[in-house]
Amino acid sequence: MAGEYPVNIILVSSNLARTRSITLSWRHYALGVLVGFVLLVGLATVLNYSLLRYATAINHPWLQAMVLSDQRKEAQRAQLYTEEHLNAMALKVGELQGQLLRLDGLGEKLAKIAGLKPQELPAKNPGRGGAESSMPVRAWTIEEFAREIQALTRTIEERTDQLSVLEALLVQDSVNKKFLPSYAPVDSVQYTSNFGYRIDPFTGSQSFHEGIDFHGDKGTAVLAAASGKVVASEWHAQYGKIVDIDHGNGLVSRYAHASQLLVKEGDLVVRGQKIAEIGSTGRSTGPHLHFEVRLNGVPQNPARFLRANG
């Protein structure tokens, strides 16, 4: 074939009467070169590993310099990588600190709503600021960053606990208000008779009035002063048609002289729900609502509860 220069190798054996020849083409050369290259690379790898593996034991200055140079380059790359990530995470720390300040502001508002005194408010981070420095910036160290993360974690945990307590106080206060008979049972705020001693409209003598009377036309809606359970919806010889609601903790509200009852015993009612209509049943001189609040059976001044609603 044109372009090929085969080489003939003749093998002669003293034990044989004949000779044998081998012809080497360019393919044999290429295969030989490839095998030689692979062997050379393998040998270099083994030598490099052996030198690095035993450089310390051999303690040769030149080998030590090679190892130290590689180690320094690797350490520099690792240091650069670490600094870049620390700086990026430091920005995140700054963002978390900003969010913490906003949480402090929210906590202060919630604490005021809960009625806490200033000295009872959760401690908060002071504001910080200032002009940008002309001095060169310094990268964070791992130790500094770890300390900052630990401090920020502790602060966030403290704020979380404080806001959790504050939330519990607000929820409890909200629940207590729902079950406190402080919602006006009628739209009218005009009292026709207050709590305490008064002149009895039937006998003309001094007698103790155990509730307050609201003026209202017959059929005017009577509303539940707080959420609770209806424990009485019946006729009473003195009060006429009444509704009694148990609000828990010994508190019971009574709505008397109604013309119509809209709930029955055992019903659960919510604050502001229409439960009856104003009338003049029982011992009454005209349409009005007689409203009572009793604590463990003892009559209380309902006006004190109504004032608690603001």
What is the predicted pLDDT for the residue at 292? 96
What is the predicted pLDDT for the residue at 308? 61
Region 78-101: mean pLDDT is 71
Task: pLDDT band for 260, please (50, 70, 90 cuts).
Answer: very high
Region 258-270: mean pLDDT is 95
Give the CATH number of domain 191-307: 2.70.70.10
Q: Which amino acid is at 49?
A: Y
Please check the confidence at residue 229 and state whether its pLDDT lies above 80.
yes
**Per-residue pLDDT tens digits for 275-285:** 999 999 999 99
What tokens does 70 get?
Answer: 């590689």
Sorted by where each begins, the domain ranges of the chain are 7-58, 78-124+141-178, 191-307
Cα gap 295→88, rounded to integer Å: 62
Region 73-86: mean pLDDT is 71
Region 128-138: mean pLDDT is 59
Please check the confidence at residue 213 and state whether its pLDDT lies above 90.
yes
- DSSP assignment of the chain equals -TT---EEEEEE-TT-SSEEEEEE-HHHHHHHHHHHHHHHHHHHHHHHHHHHHHHHHHT-HHHHHHHHHHHHHHHHHHHHHHHHHHHHHHHHHHHHHHHHHHHHHHHHHHHHHTT--GGGSPP-PPP---PPPSSPP-PPPHHHHHHHHHHHHHHHHHHHHHHHHHHHHHHHHHHHHHTSS-S-SSS---EEE-SEEEE-TTT-SEEEE-SEEEE--TT-EEE-SS-EEEEEEEEETTTEEEEEEEEETTEEEEEEEEEEE---TT-EE-TT-EEEEEB--SS-SSSEEEEEEEETTEEE-HHHHHHTT-
What is the predicted pLDDT for the residue at 201? 83
**Per-residue pLDDT tens digits for 92-108:** 777 777 777 777 776 77
Task: pLDDT band for 309, please (50, 70, 90 cuts).
Answer: low
Region 219-230: mean pLDDT is 94
Cα gap 216→230, rounded to integer Å: 23
> Which of 29 and 225 is assigned the larger pLDDT?
225
Positive or negative, the Cα torsion across 282, 232, 298, 279?
A: negative
- The torsion angles phi and psi of 292, rounded to 5 degrees, stand at -125, 155
Please check the confidence at residue 128 and state whether its pLDDT lies above 60.
no
pTM of the model: 0.50
Q: Measure the CA angle with vertex 235, ends 234 and 236; round to 5°.
A: 120
Q: Are 288 and 192 in contact (CB under 8 A)?
A: yes
Question: Contacts for 294-299 with beta carbons within 8 Å, 24 or more apart?
Answer: 294/251, 294/252, 294/253, 294/254, 295/250, 295/251, 296/250, 297/250, 299/195, 299/210, 299/211
What is the predicted pLDDT for the residue at 199? 87
What is the predicted pLDDT for the residue at 1? 46
User: Which of the given ranges, 37-46, 136-145, 244-253, has the highest pLDDT on average?
Assistant: 244-253
**Per-residue pLDDT tens digits for 33-48:** 777 777 887 787 777 6
**Per-residue pLDDT tens digits for 153-163:** 777 777 776 77
For residue 32, count CB atoms less than 10 angstroms from its CB and return exposed for 0-12, middle for 13-18, buried for 19 or more. Answer: exposed
